[in-house]
Amino acid sequence: MANFKPYIHRGNIEGVYVKELIKGCTKRRNNDLRFAFLFCRVRNERGVMILCKEWRQIGVNIERKPGQNEKDRQLEQFRSIDEGKPMTTNEGLKLSEDEFSLKAGERGPTLIEDFHFREKITHFDHERIPERVVHARGYAAHGEFQVYESMKPYTKAKFLQNPAVKTPVFVRFSTVAGSRGSADTVRDVRGFAVKFYTEEGNYDLVGNNIPVFFIQDAIKFPDLVHSFKPEPHNEIPQAQTAHDTFWDFVVNNQESAHMVMWHMSDRAIPRSFRMMEGFGVHTFRFVNEEGKACFVKFHWKPKLGVHSLVWDEAQKIAGKDPDFHRRDLYEAIEMGNYPEWELGVQMIQEEDEFNFDFDILDPTKIWPEEEVPVKIIGKMTLNRNVDNVFAETEQVAFHPGNVVPGIDFTNDPLLQGRLFSYTDTQLIRLGGPNFHELPINRPVCPFHNNQRDGYGRQTINVGQVSYHRNSLANNTPSVSSAQEGGYAHYQEKVEGRKVRNRSKSFEDHFSQAILFWNSMGEPEKQHIIQAFSFELGKVKSKSIKQKAVDMFANVSTNLANAVANAIGVNPPENAEDPKLEKSSPALSMLNTVMLPDTRKVGVILGSQFNGPKVAAVVKGLQAAGVLPVIISDKAGDVKGTDGTIFEATETFLTSCSVLFDAIYAAGGQGSTPAFEKNAAQFIHEAFMHYKAIGATFDGVVFLEKANLLNQAGVVTGEDPRQFTEEFVKAIAADRHWDRRLI
């Protein structure tokens, strides 16, 4: 975990004397030297711990660092700092007045000659662009990628050759179904789209956090999307699949079975973007210098492990903090806790194409990691938030067809359709064919061709010639051979009749749905049953509910029976449990990496808390990489027995138990009955969500009263060091599923 401290301020910051920077970072505001963004824990001269999270004017000169990488340097030319500058029209005319329109007489009508009014309102009227038809709600950050070892034996892609090369990346995470203003924590697939700005042009790996898809052929995509979007007659529900049309699609398109199992699992309610896996989903090709190809699937593995929310928590967060995931990513990067993922590849040689009990081109199938190991080949770090969400995150245009030499496609019919769709959609969303010129989309290498004109063209192409073949410009721009870096498509032999149907090898829809179910641990299975019961419980059509239960009896009769019972339909008739015993431990989140790093702990603190000891615990938690947040009945200073002061940055009103990974009840001798009631509620909710709960000194009484002592993941103690050690372990363990709920 990085602790980024490019600019550490000691001295006066708006009247607060910063004595000690405990943890965090500061960032200059564009290249205006007078402002810095503080996101840090500092102690002021009175020993008060404060969390700074705002732009502060500072009295020192900060020099803007040169761009961190090629993409950052390129973006620099397009950045504009308006602060401190005179206001002008878009034509550069200085303005003398911006609050009153030009009128004929003080109480008279506005005049049409008021060019400033017209320009300002017209621009405002046109501020919105269409949101993405899917993946509308997203959040992005900049970073870089480095390969661990040369991949030369497999691919000639230049960005995968040299471990010393850092390739700039831009990554956008998204939900799929909801509109741009929907909540972050809905049950949904998450998009995981990465743009690599390589020296050979942009390479886009446009993936998801689930390794398979609902359908096998792109022509069905509009049907799938229409089924899960809000129903057209009443536009209900927003960002949910818990409704009739989605489940009607599922039961009538059984190829969705495997993906629906993932969608009903905890993978669809991630704890954080930083704790999600990413998958390229399709089978691609690597091609090496000698022209030899192999099949490849891409994986992103988060260094923090794969973790999820629980469903009740996810729903509550959607109301308490609809921006939960974007806030988490933004704050982690501002604090210098840069999220990291390792890139992994599974490779299958061409001669082994037909050696599996599934078709390796079928996007509803994984390649089980135990059969085809994931080779870890590099690391991606996200280390910079965007300057402007619209200009960067909204205008970025991904396309699975953006490839570089050494990476090629296969005949996966879902991928083939995507290769058409992504450019097409940008034309309407970004308003014309020149979206590649937008700063965020520009490659960092030069680009030249004979394409010209169109809405919003920015490049001024100099010269007389804009066609190929020509003699006036010596037949340039010229094409390059493969040896010179020109993209040469892999010469796969293709032969066949024109047909509209599905390959027989794509017809098994249940084996891997069963594999997924078999690979789940007991709590994961229970959550899947609950998710089906919730979703189908919201479906009104009894026949769709029944068909769904009958369909998933092909996966597990236990699952089908439990769901039938919960939603009031008949158990599946004569169903026998499928006879497949295979499992893949890599699919269970119970086997993931467990770390305390960047986990947020709500510290419930009342007045007259045990000063030195609570301070020791808070310090210990910070040292372990945990992020404590002080919560009290009112914001501001909370005073301990010995005069130690912590600043409560949250109150019982502004915050909520669901927003934390764990709760630490430190209490205080001066707690009022109202304080105790609120604290009990925080603790109870954390308990019901299987989170670690710690209590010391005056806080232990809350656990005693709630009868929560001696439960899994509940830690108490009087010795700060020992308590912190055990509490950190409980936080790292994430959820304590073996808890007896009361």
- Site residues for ligand HDE per CB under 6 A: 132-135, 138, 172, 174, 191, 193, 206-208, 213, 218, 221, 281, 398, 414, 417-418, 421-422, 425
Nearest to 693 by CA among 721, 664, 666: 664
Residues 602 and 660 sit within 8 Å (Cβ to Cβ): yes
Residue 235's contacts (CB-CB under 8 Å, 6 or more residues apart) are none
**Nearest distance from residue 235's CB to ligand HDE, in Å?**
19
Q: Which of 9, 135, 299, 527 is catalytic?
A: 135
Using DSSP's 3-state secondary structure scheme, residue 110 falls into strand
d(CA 566, CA 462): 70
- 239: amino acid identity, one letter: A
Token digits for 707? 């009868």
Residue reference for tokens 């990346």: 169
E-strand ranges in 372-419 read 375-385, 407-408
**Nearest distance from residue 224's CB to ligand HDE, in Å?**
8
Q: Rg for the chain (alpha carbons), in Å?
A: 28
Backbone angles phi, psi at 429, to 5 degrees: -70, -40
d(CA 142, CA 156): 25
d(CA 449, CA 111): 47
Q: Choose between 307 and 418: whose C-beta lies nearer to ligand HDE.
A: 418
Residues 648 and 666 sit within 8 Å (Cβ to Cβ): no
**Nearest distance from residue 211's CB to ligand HDE, in Å?**
9
d(CA 228, CA 230): 7
Residues 245 and 228 sit within 8 Å (Cβ to Cβ): yes
Neighbours of 109 (CB within 10 A): 9
d(CA 364, CA 261): 11
Token digits for 17? 């004397």
Q: Choose between 213 and 690: whose C-beta lies nearer to ligand HDE.
A: 213
Helix 542-552 with 557-567: angle, nearest 10 deg: 160
Q: Choose between 333 and 549: whose C-beta lies nearer to ligand HDE.
A: 333
Annotation says 208 is catalytic = yes
d(CA 392, CA 47): 40
List alpha helices for 103-172, DSSP H: 115-125
Residue 59's contacts (CB-CB under 8 Å, 6 or more residues apart) are 11, 12, 13
Q: Choose between 395 and 724: whose C-beta lies nearer to ligand HDE.
A: 395
Backbone angles phi, psi at 694, to 5 degrees: -120, 150
Burial of 714 (0-12, 13-18, 19+ CB in 10 A): buried
Residues 658 and 316 sit within 8 Å (Cβ to Cβ): yes
d(CA 223, CA 381): 36
- 502: amino acid identity, one letter: R
Q: Choose between 398 and 664: whose C-beta lies nearer to ligand HDE.
A: 398
Closest residue to ligand HDE, based on beta-carbon distance: 191
Q: Which of 9, 142, 202, 208 is catalytic?
A: 208
**Nearest distance from residue 710's CB to ligand HDE, in Å?**
46
**Nearest distance from residue 125's CB to ligand HDE, in Å?**
24
Q: Choose between 55 and 422: whose C-beta lies nearer to ligand HDE.
A: 422
Per-residue H/E/C for 58-89: CCCCCCCCCCCCHHHHHHHCCCCCCCCCCCEC
**Nearest distance from residue 659's CB to ligand HDE, in Å?**
26
Nearest to 269 by CA among 516, 531, 515, 562: 531
Q: Choose between 132 and 689: whose C-beta lies nearer to ligand HDE.
A: 132
Residues 567 and 556 sit within 8 Å (Cβ to Cβ): no
Q: Choose between 135 and 739: whose C-beta lies nearer to ligand HDE.
A: 135
Bridge partners of 286?
Answer: 294, 407
Helical (H) or strand (E) element with 645: strand 645-648
Per-residue H/E/C for 219-285: HHHHHHHHHHCCECCCCECCCCCCCHHHHHHHHHCHHHHHHHHHHCCHHHCECCHHHCCEECCCCEE
Token digits for 5? 């401290």
d(CA 271, CA 307): 6
d(CA 394, CA 140): 9
d(CA 683, CA 693): 7
List C-alpha distances in Å: 395 to 438, 440, 687. Answer: 8, 7, 42
Q: Which residues carry out catalysis?
A: 135, 208
